[in-house]
Chain A
Amino acid sequence: MDKKEDFDIVLEAGRTEKNYWADIWRYRELFYILSWRDIAVRYKQTIIGIAWSVIRPVLTMIIFTVVFSKIANLPSEGAAPYAIMVYAALLPWQFFSNALTESSGSLVSNSSLISKVYFPRLIIPTSSVLVSMVDFAISFGIMIVLMVVLQFVPSWQVVFLPLFLLLAFGVSFGIGLFITALNVKYRDFRYVIPFIVQFGLYISPVGFSSSIVPEKWRFLYSLNPMVGVIDGFRWAIIGGESKIYMPGFLLSIALTIVILFLAIRYFRKTEKKFADII
Chain B
Amino acid sequence: MTVVVKTENLGKKYIISHERPERYTALRDVMANKAKLFIKKTKSIFSDEFHPTGETEEFWALRDINMEIYQGDSYGIVGKNGAGKSTLLKVLSRITEPSEGWVGIKGRVASLLEVGTGFHPELTGNENIFLNGAILGMTRSEIRSKFDEIVDFSGVEKFLDTPVKKYSSGMRVRLAFSVAAHLEPEILVIDEVLAVGDAEFQRKCLGKMKDVAGQGRTVLFVSHNMVAVQSLCNKGLLLEKGRIVSTGAATDIVQQYMSKVSQQGSEIRWNEAAKAPGNDMLKLVSASVVPTIDQEGSGLITMASAFEIGIRFTNITLADNDFNIGVHVLNDQDVVAFAGSLVEGYSISDLVPGTDYKVSCIVPGQLLNAGNYRVNILVFRNSTLLFRADDALGFVVTEQSRKDAWFGRKAGIFRPQLDWKISQS
Which A residues are within 8 Å of any B CB, using their own CB? Answer: 2, 4, 6-15, 29-30, 32-34, 37, 40-41, 44-45, 112-119, 182, 185-186, 272-273, 275-276
Contact = CB atoms under 8 A, between A and B. Distances in A.
B152 interface: no
Nearest to B99: A13
Nearest to A6: B104
Interface stretch (B109-117, B267-275, B285-293): B109-117
A117 B120 contact: no
> What is the size category of the interface that chain B forms with chain A?
35 or more
Nearest to A113: B118
Interface string B1-30: 001001000000010000000000000000
A9 B94 contact: yes
Contact of A116 (B106, B117, B122, B123): B117
Interface in B89-138: 90-91, 93-107, 109, 111, 113-114, 117-118, 120, 122-123, 127, 130-131, 134-138
A10 B104 contact: yes
A11 B6 CA distance: 10
A118 B136 CA distance: 8
Given A40-B127, A117-B118, A276 B134 contact: no
B41 interface: yes
- Shortest beta-carbon contacts, A-B, top 5: A7-B104, A118-B94, A33-B134, A272-B97, A12-B102
Nearest to A182: B45
Contact of B105 (A7, A182, A275): A7
Contacts of A115: 95
11 contacts: A11-B91, A13-B98, A29-B134, A44-B123, A112-B118, A116-B95, A116-B111, A118-B111, A119-B135, A119-B137, A272-B97
Contacts of B140: 29, 32-33
Interface string B248-279: 00000000000000000000000000000000
Residue from B96, B98, B113, B136 whose CB has the most chain A CB atoms within 10 Å = B96
B114 A116 contact: yes
A113 B97 contact: no
Given A7-B105, A10-B104, A275-B95, A33 B41 contact: no
A106 to B, nearest CB: 14
B106 A7 contact: yes
Contacts of A186: 41
Contacts of A119: 135, 137
A124 B107 CA distance: 24
Interface of B: 3, 6, 14, 41, 45, 50, 68, 90-91, 93-107, 109, 111, 113-114, 117-118, 120, 122-123, 127, 130-131, 134-140
Nearest to A9: B105
A117 B136 contact: yes
A186 B38 CA distance: 12
A37 B91 contact: no
Contact of A12 (B98, B120, B127): B98
Residue from A15, A116, A185 whose CB has the most chain B CB atoms within 10 Å = A116
A44 B134 contact: no
B157 to A, nearest CB: 21
B106 A37 contact: no
Contacts of B102: 4, 10-12, 15
Given A2-B68, A13-B101, 19 more contacts: A2-B3, A7-B106, A9-B94, A10-B102, A11-B97, A11-B98, A11-B104, A12-B103, A13-B99, A13-B100, A29-B134, A29-B139, A30-B134, A33-B130, A37-B127, A113-B118, A115-B95, A118-B109, A275-B90
A12 B6 CA distance: 12
B94 A37 contact: no
A78 B85 CA distance: 69
Contacts of B90: 275
A273 B15 CA distance: 12
A186 B37 CA distance: 13
Contacts of A4: 102, 104
A30 B135 contact: yes
Contact of A7 (B6, B14, B139): B6
A191 to B, nearest CB: 14
Nearest to B14: A276
Residue from B3, B136, B137 whose CB has the most chain A CB atoms within 10 Å = B137
A53 B335 CA distance: 60
A40 B104 contact: no
